[in-house]
């Protein structure tokens, strides 16, 4: 029962979506399934939050290595959630001045806005920006012309790196008209539209075929690994 | 010397990268941009629209990619304001809603204060469900959106009258940092209704190669990363200058943010090329030394 009902739900939802795509009369059936999916996706946020708390509270209570990070995660989660849901420090909306919680939690100067603007935003931007340092280090240490394929990759990287900035055109704009196509920016565009597109299309077709076969296996109940092992 | 370079402490490389980014920022180094064909197509798609046409702006990114996508979002919103289009904002990313609010404050409220919320622009906010949301909004968005981001009933909003789904839009712009993003909009919206939904997009550098296969049928135009933004800014600024649609002077600095950010990117790219070359010279020299021994 525990496995058969989810299996049945997946089968019905999947087949309804397929039918709805090909038969216009059944389009609204597909919409209904999708609205259910969207409701479930919203509920999944609550489950996700609960799971996050459970995992990190356990780590903190067991004092496993790195448990301090779990404490930071729990504090950050609880503070953001409390400030946002509780609309702490939010001014009432002009339309409903008698209701303290009628204002927007996003309003400039509100505690939630402050946390977003001065904690969340800089942290996310910093983590993303750090990639540049690691990529530079990796470029120096790992990008080696060891064989023909690696040389091809290196040459492409050079062209794209230079062609995607003003440096490429500046370095190659003196090329005579007969070899104008070899200018860095033009070569970049050529590589992207021809080689990259061809390669990506081939990969996409392969993935699509694989997805279709796996989807059919799921809908027919052959592939059941998404249901979990069944053990608690 | 060879051993020193071979075992170079990576903190020296970090320092070089820091300097290559910091110096152009401090010197405010800017370089000329020539719009590519794809940027030109995106610009022309917006130019084709008439005053009062409807445009959907889906902001599917977050602060992590704001450095790359923020300038093009600003340029898009300005272009829409200049064209006096009716702007419908929405987000499939939880923090995308904040990106929308940022742009409304930075562009619409700051430089186009005569535009009225609910009449000229509105914010539908974030909805969970990824491509599930796309599949609903292409047929009946009222099933999912009963209010706007501030809780006002959709039926009370003037510009929502007669808008039942996104097929009512004359054009759609998606700014995408990953999943869900442009790929999902192409697959679930444009591919389903190729004659009714027209999409142009802006994306991060790593996403661009994955979106090229959809050009030009499903995706006529694409702004790739900060370079795409810088090119688009140039097109918008060349056409509309430093005054808004009402003739008032705007703050031009924020509309050249992409071009400003191309300075550090250029130097960082050159540094990367030099690091790769240096790394390979050391590798070859080391191999020769090993052979001799």
Q: What is the mean pLDDT of residues A147-153?
A: 92
pLDDT, tens digit, for every residue of B2-19? 788 888 888 999 999 999
Answer yes or no: is B259 within a domain: no
Residues B152 and B170 in one domain: yes
Nearest Cα residue in chain A from B279 = A140
Chain A interface disruption, residue of B135, B220, B284, most A CBs within 10 A: B135
pLDDT, tens digit, for every residue of B61-93? 999 999 899 999 999 999 999 999 999 999 999
Q: CB of A18 within 8 Å of any CB in chain B?
A: no
Sign of CA dihedral B233, B234, B238, B243: positive
User: What's residue A61's pLDDT?
Assistant: 95
User: What's residue B250's pLDDT?
Assistant: 77
Residues B13 and B44 in one domain: no
Residues spanned by the domain of B9: 2-27+265-292
Residues B110 and B142 in one domain: yes
Report residue A152's pLDDT band, with 50, 70 and 90 as the boundaries: very high
Taking Cα atoms as reference points, which of B45, B104, B51, B53 lies closest to residue B74?
A: B104
User: What's residue A230's pLDDT?
Assistant: 57
Taking an 8 Å cut-off on Cβ atoms, the answer to whether B209 and A135 are in contact is no
Distance from C-alpha of B175 to C-alpha of B60, rounded to nearest angstrom: 6
User: What's residue B144's pLDDT?
Assistant: 87
Helix (H) or strand (E) holding A78: helix A67-85
All residues at 6 or more sequence positions from B135 whose CB lies less than 8 Å from its CB, including other chains? A30, A31, A34, B188
ipTM of the complex: 0.84
Q: What is the mean pLDDT of residues B186-205?
A: 94
Residues B116 and B159 in one domain: yes
Residues B90 and B155 in one domain: yes
* CATH number assigned to the domain comprising residue B62: 3.40.50
Answer yes or no: is B260 within a domain: no
User: What's residue A82's pLDDT?
Assistant: 93
Taking an 8 Å cut-off on Cβ atoms, the answer to whether B63 and A157 are in contact is no
Length of chain A (residues):
232
Distance from C-alpha of B195 to C-alpha of B184, rounded to nearest angstrom: 17
Residues B23 and B65 in one domain: no
User: What's residue A222's pLDDT?
Assistant: 87
Taking an 8 Å cut-off on Cβ atoms, the answer to whether B128 and A121 are in contact is no
Q: Which of B65, B129, B139 sits opposite A37 (nearest CB)?
A: B129
Distances in whole angstroms, Cα of residue A81 to Cα of each of A53, A61, A71, A85, B56 = 12, 22, 15, 6, 30
Residues B23 and B45 in one domain: no
User: What's residue A83's pLDDT?
Assistant: 93
pLDDT, tens digit, for every residue of B107-143? 999 999 999 999 999 999 999 888 889 988 998 888 8
Both ends of chain B: CA-CA distance in Å? 17
Distance from C-alpha of A119 to C-alpha of A72, rounded to nearest angstrom: 13
User: What's residue B262's pLDDT?
Assistant: 93
Q: What is the mean pLDDT of residues B261-266?
A: 93
Taking Cα atoms as reference points, which of A122, A90, A88 lies closest to residue A104?
A: A90
pLDDT, tens digit, for every residue of A2-45? 788 888 988 999 999 999 888 888 888 888 898 888 888 889 98
Q: What is the mean pLDDT of residues A175-183?
A: 87
Q: Highest mean pLDDT: which of A1-10, A163-172, B55-64?
A: B55-64
Report residue A223's pLDDT band, with 50, 70 and 90 as the boundaries: confident
Residues B64 and B192 in one domain: yes
Report residue A229's pLDDT band, with 50, 70 and 90 as the boundaries: low
Residues B277 and B188 in one domain: no
Taking an 8 Å cut-off on Cβ atoms, the answer to whether B135 and A145 are in contact is no
Instruction: Report whether pLDDT(A58) > 90.
Output: yes
Q: Which of A37, A139, A144 sits opposite B275 (nearest CB)?
A: A139
Q: What is the mean pLDDT of residues A48-58?
A: 95
Residues B165 and B272 in one domain: no
Check: CB of residue B163 under 8 Å from CB of residue B156: no
Q: Which residues of B touch A158 (CB under 8 A)?
A: 273, 276
Q: Where are the domains of chain A?
A: 1-85, 92-131, 143-232
Residues B11 and B126 in one domain: no
Residues B44 and B146 in one domain: yes
Distance from C-alpha of B108 to C-alpha of B110, rounded to nearest angstrom: 6
Answer yes or no: is B32 within a domain: no
Number of domains in chain B: 2
All residues at 6 or more sequence positions from A193 whose CB lies less than 8 Å from its CB, including other chains? B212, B215
Distance from C-alpha of B25 to C-alpha of B18, rounded to nearest angstrom: 11
Range 147-206 of A in CB contact (< 8 A) with B: 154, 157-158, 161-162, 164-167, 169, 185, 189, 192-193, 196-197, 200-201, 204
pLDDT, tens digit, for every residue of A108-139? 888 999 999 999 999 999 998 899 999 999 98
């Amino acid at each position: 029962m525990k496995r058969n009902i989810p299996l049945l739900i997946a089968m019905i939802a999947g087949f309804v979506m397929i039918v709805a795509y090909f038969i216009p009369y059944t389009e609204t059936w597909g919409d209904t399934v999708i609205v259910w999916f969207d409701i479930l996706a919203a509920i999944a946020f609550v489950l996700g939050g609960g799971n996050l708390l459970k995992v990190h509270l356990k780590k903190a209570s067991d004092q496993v290595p790195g448990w301090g990070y779990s404490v930071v995660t729990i504090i950050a989660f609880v503070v953001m959630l409390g400030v946002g849901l509780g609309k702490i420090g939010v001014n009432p909306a002009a339309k409903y001045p008698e209701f303290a919680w009628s204002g927007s939690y996003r309003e400039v100067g509100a505690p939630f806005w402050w946390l977003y603007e001065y904690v969340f935003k800089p942290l996310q931007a910093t983590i993303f920006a750090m990639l540049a340092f690691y990529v530079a280090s990796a470029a120096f240490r790992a990008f080696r012309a060891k064989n023909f394929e690696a040389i091809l990759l290196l040459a492409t990287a050079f062209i794209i790196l230079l062609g995607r900035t003003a440096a490429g055109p500046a370095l190659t704009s003196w090329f005579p008209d007969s070899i104008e196509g070899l200018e860095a920016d033009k070569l970049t565009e050529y590589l992207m539209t021809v080689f990259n597109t061809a390669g990506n299309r081939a990969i996409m077709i392969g993935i699509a075929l694989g997805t279709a076969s796996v989807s059919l296996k799921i809908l027919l109940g052959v592939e059941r690994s998404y249901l979990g092992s069944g053990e608690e | 010397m060879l051993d020193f370079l071979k075992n170079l402490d990576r903190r020296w490389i970090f320092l070089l990268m820091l300097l290559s980014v910091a110096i152009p920022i401090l010197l405010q180094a800017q370089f000329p941009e020539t719009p590519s064909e794809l940027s030109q197509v995106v610009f022309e798609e917006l130019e084709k629209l008439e005053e009062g046409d409807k445009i959907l702006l889906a902001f599917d990114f977050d602060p992590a990619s704001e450095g790359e996508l923020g300038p093009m979002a600003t340029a898009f919103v300005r272009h829409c304001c200049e064209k006096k289009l009716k702007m419908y904002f929405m987000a499939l990313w939880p923090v995308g809603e904040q990106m929308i609010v940022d742009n409304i404050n930075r562009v619409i409220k700051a430089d186009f204060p005569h535009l009225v919320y609910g009449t000229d622009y509105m914010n539908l906010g974030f909805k969970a469900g990824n491509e599930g949301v796309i599949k609903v909004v292409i047929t009946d968005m009222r099933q999912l959106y009963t209010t706007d981001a501030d809780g006002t009933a959709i039926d009370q909003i003037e510009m929502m009258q007669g808008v039942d789904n996104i097929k009512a839009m004359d054009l759609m712009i998606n700014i995408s940092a990953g999943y869900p993003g442009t790929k999902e909009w192409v697959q679930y919206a444009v591919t389903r209704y190729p004659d009714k939904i027209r999409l142009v997009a802006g994306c991060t550098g790593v996403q661009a190669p994955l979106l090229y296969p959809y050009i030009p049928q499903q995706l006529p135009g694409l702004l790739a990363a900060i370079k795409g933004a810088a090119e688009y800014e140039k097109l918008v600024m060349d056409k509309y200058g430093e005054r808004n649609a009402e003739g008032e002077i705007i703050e031009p600095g924020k509309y050249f943010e992409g071009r400003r950010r191309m300075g550090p990117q250029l130097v960082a790219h050159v540094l990367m090329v030099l690091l790769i070359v240096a790394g390979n010279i050391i590798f070859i020299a080391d191999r020769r030394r090993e052979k001799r021994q």
